[in-house]
């Protein structure tokens, strides 16, 4: 997949463009991209995903940006997995936000040369989101492209949306979040030094320095898979503040099962969250905490054994 940071960088021929924020690249987003790929293959065109490099709210009200389901790099990887030819991650600034719906359309018509445009049923564009699906259809007739409006994707009678997925993550329902996204929810980052509490319990942990812009599941213990140094591990992951040994910041700690020694400090780690095993607890002693850690490991192993998950 070719990655562009502005539509003006395109030097190819005619295209099919799928528009959207694509936070989380969930099943609803996937339908838009599949439609773009289908049209591109049918008409021998290039499929393009057009999105933004940051949430539009960050330009006007940074404190109101919702927790993100993916970092920029994760979003690019998720789009690439959909098999599209080109992704445009355009900066969103005030000048761009002030474009009228027709000015917005002209900006991509003269650069990306679309023959087909794919949008969701609730897609809005132009200044203050004034442009709607019917406006895109009319402007397409004026500027020479056909607009395809994709209907709402539902599961259990409710729409699949980034807002709904964030709600499931906030509740700790990682299985439902994974069902809506089509894959497990992920936190990535670098392994950093922690309080070394795991060493005292004879169960060293890998502490993740995650991107704070991302949605963080609630405090508790999770069955997860960890990918670090080109190896996969089952992992009992604790998110919390160590009420048994208080002091310090919120941490994301992965107790890697089958880990045979060596340090991961400075290494990149990827955590895939499958199930919340329990909420955060305070124990009367480190010995009681150690027993709980052993139980977390056993429950994690049992979870993956029962679900037939493969590393």
- Tens digit of each residue's pLDDT (9 = 90 or more) over 100-130: 999 999 999 999 999 999 999 999 999 999 9
Of 138 and 55, the structure prediction assigns the larger pLDDT to 138
Pairing of strands 206-210, 251-257: antiparallel
Q: Is residue 108 a contact partner of residue 114, using CB atoms and an 8 Å limit? A: yes
Residue 64 has a pLDDT of: 87
| CA distance linking residue 143 with residue 41, whole number of Å | 22
Tell me: pLDDT of 288 over 90.
no
| Token couple for 267 | 């290494």
CA distances, 247 to each of 197, 201, 203, 218, 286 (Å): 12, 17, 20, 18, 15
Question: How does the average pLDDT of the chain come out, rounded?
Answer: 91
Question: Under the phi-then-psi rule, with left for phi > 0, alpha for psi from -120 to 50, and beta for the rest, what region is 265?
Answer: beta
Range with the poorest average pLDDT among 114-118, 213-217, 288-292: 288-292
pLDDT band at residue 154 under the 50/70/90 scheme: very high
Tell me: pLDDT of 308 over 70.
no
Tell me: pLDDT of 195 over 70.
no
Range with the poorest average pLDDT among 7-11, 23-27, 55-59, 228-232: 55-59
| CA distance linking residue 226 with residue 188, whole number of Å | 10
Of 35 and 280, the structure prediction assigns the larger pLDDT to 35
| CA distance linking residue 24 with residue 22, whole number of Å | 6
Question: Under the phi-then-psi rule, with left for phi > 0, alpha for psi from -120 to 50, and beta for the rest, what region is 44?
Answer: left
How many CA atoms within 13 Å lie on the side-chain side of 247?
5
Q: Is residue 293 a contact partner of residue 281, using CB atoms and an 8 Å limit? A: no
| Cβ neighbours of 310 (radius 10 Å) | 7
Residue 300 has a pLDDT of: 96
Q: Is residue 125 a contact partner of residue 20, using CB atoms and an 8 Å limit? A: no
Tell me: pLDDT of 197 over 60.
no
Tell me the H-state helices in 182-285.
197-200
| CA distance linking residue 179 with residue 303, whole number of Å | 17
Residue 161 has a pLDDT of: 94
Residue 285 has a pLDDT of: 66
Rounded to an integer, the average pLDDT of 244-252 is 70
pTM above 0.85, yes or no: yes
pLDDT band at residue 84 under the 50/70/90 scheme: very high
Residue 56 has a pLDDT of: 82
pLDDT band at residue 198 under the 50/70/90 scheme: low
The dihedrals phi and psi of 243, each to the nearest 5 degrees, come to -65, -20
| CA distance linking residue 243 with residue 193, whole number of Å | 19
Residue 47 has a pLDDT of: 98
CA distances, 45 to each of 117, 137, 148 (Å): 12, 20, 15
């Amino acid at each position: 997949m070719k990655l562009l940071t502005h539509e003006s960088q395109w030097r190819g021929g005619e295209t099919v463009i799928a528009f959207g924020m694509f936070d989380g690249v969930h099943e609803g987003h996937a339908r838009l991209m599949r439609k773009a790929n289908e049209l591109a293959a049918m008409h021998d065109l290039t499929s393009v995903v057009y999105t933004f490099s940051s949430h539009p709210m960050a330009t006007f009200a940074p404190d109101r940006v919702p927790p993100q389901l993916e970092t920029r790099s994760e979003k690019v990887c998720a789009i690439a997995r959909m098999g599209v030819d080109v992704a445009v991650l355009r900066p969103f600034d005030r000048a761009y936000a002030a474009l009228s719906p027709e000015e917005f359309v002209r900006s991509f018509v003269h650069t990306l040369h679309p023959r087909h445009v794919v949008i969701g049923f609730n897609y809005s564009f132009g200044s203050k989101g004034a442009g709607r699906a019917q406006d895109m259809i009319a402007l397409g007739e004026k500027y020479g492209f056909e607009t395809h409006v994709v209907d709402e994707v539902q599961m259990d009678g409710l729409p699949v949306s980034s807002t709904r997925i964030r709600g499931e993550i906030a509740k700790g329902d990682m299985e439902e979040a994974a069902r809506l996204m089509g894959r497990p929810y992920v936190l990535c980052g670098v392994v950093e030094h922690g309080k070394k509490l795991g060493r005292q319990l004879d169960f060293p942990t890998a502490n993740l320095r995650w991107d704070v812009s991302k949605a963080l599941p609630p405090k508790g213990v999770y069955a997860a898979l960890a990918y670090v140094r080109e190896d996969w591990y089952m992992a009992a992951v604790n998110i919390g503040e160590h009420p048994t040994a208080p002091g310090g910041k919120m941490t994301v700690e992965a107790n890697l099962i089958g880990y045979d020694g060596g340090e991961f400090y400075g290494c990149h780690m990827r955590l895939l969250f499958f199930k919340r095993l329990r909420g955060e607890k305070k124990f009367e002693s480190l010995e009681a905490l150690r027993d709980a850690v052993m139980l977390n490991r056993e429950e994690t192993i049992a979870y993956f054994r029962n679900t037939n998950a493969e590393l």
